Amino acid sequence: MKFFVDTADVSEIQELNALGLLDGVTTNPSLVMKAGRDIMDVTKEICSIVDGPVSAEVTATDFDGMMTEAAVLSKIADNICIKVPLTFDGLKACKALTTAGQQVNVTLCFSANQALLAAKAGATFISPFIGRLDDTAIDGMEIIADIRRIYDNYEFETEILAASIRTVNHVKEAALIGADVATVPPATLRALVKHPLTDKGLEAFLADWAKTGQSIG
């Protein structure tokens, strides 16, 4: 499974990338607002840090507007992935952009039918929102499983990018189902390494080592 980090915070991206954990980055208008920086400046800096795809989202809702904004965003760097909403105009833009060789992430997916349409439109990535479905009392993991089965049935190359991840269990379940990518908030990505038995075991090892009076080197 690939790990993307879902943030526009450059310091977080630099730290996680240095650990070798990042395969890409996803951003959206809300994350750019939270970062408090110009979208062009912060996206360009992010693209210079990571080698993988960096999703930059259009804000226009009509086809012509999306294409105009996509032309601007795509010039930021070669690893830009244009993010479009799952609407008919978004699918139209997806088809036009991918036909021209541009990576496209179709976002705000909440059903397997929507994901099927995105794959037909040639999407590079489809972003089903797990956490937001959970918020409506629908098991978000079911959509990942449904999309995986549909894509496998017809050998679609669109990658399933599990989004709106809230917990470490979301990551594990998405991996078990076979999502290609998980885009994860920095805090959740860091939490994947934690386990109380790891901490307890390390504490015991260090205590025993101290009793030997030895040092390495």
Token pair listed for 55: 């999703």
Give which of 117, 110, 126 is closest to 89, Cα–Cα.
117
Residues 46 and 48: their CA atoms lie apart, in Å, by: 5
202 burial type by CB count under 10 A (0-12 exposed, 13-18 middle, 19+ buried): exposed
Q: Radius of gyration (Cα) for the chain, nearest Å?
A: 20
> Alpha helices, DSSP H only, in the chain?
10-18, 29-35, 39-49, 63-74, 88-99, 112-120, 130-135, 140-154, 168-177, 186-191, 196-212
Where is 57: in which H helix or E strand? Answer: strand 54-57
Q: Which of 2, 75, 83, 200 is catalytic?
A: 83
Residues 20 and 25: their CA atoms lie apart, in Å, by: 13
Judged by DSSP in three states, 18 sits in: helix
Q: Is-catalytic flag, 194?
A: no
Return the number of other C-beta atoms located less than 10 Å from residue 157's C-beta.
9
Residue positions annotated with a catalytic role: 83
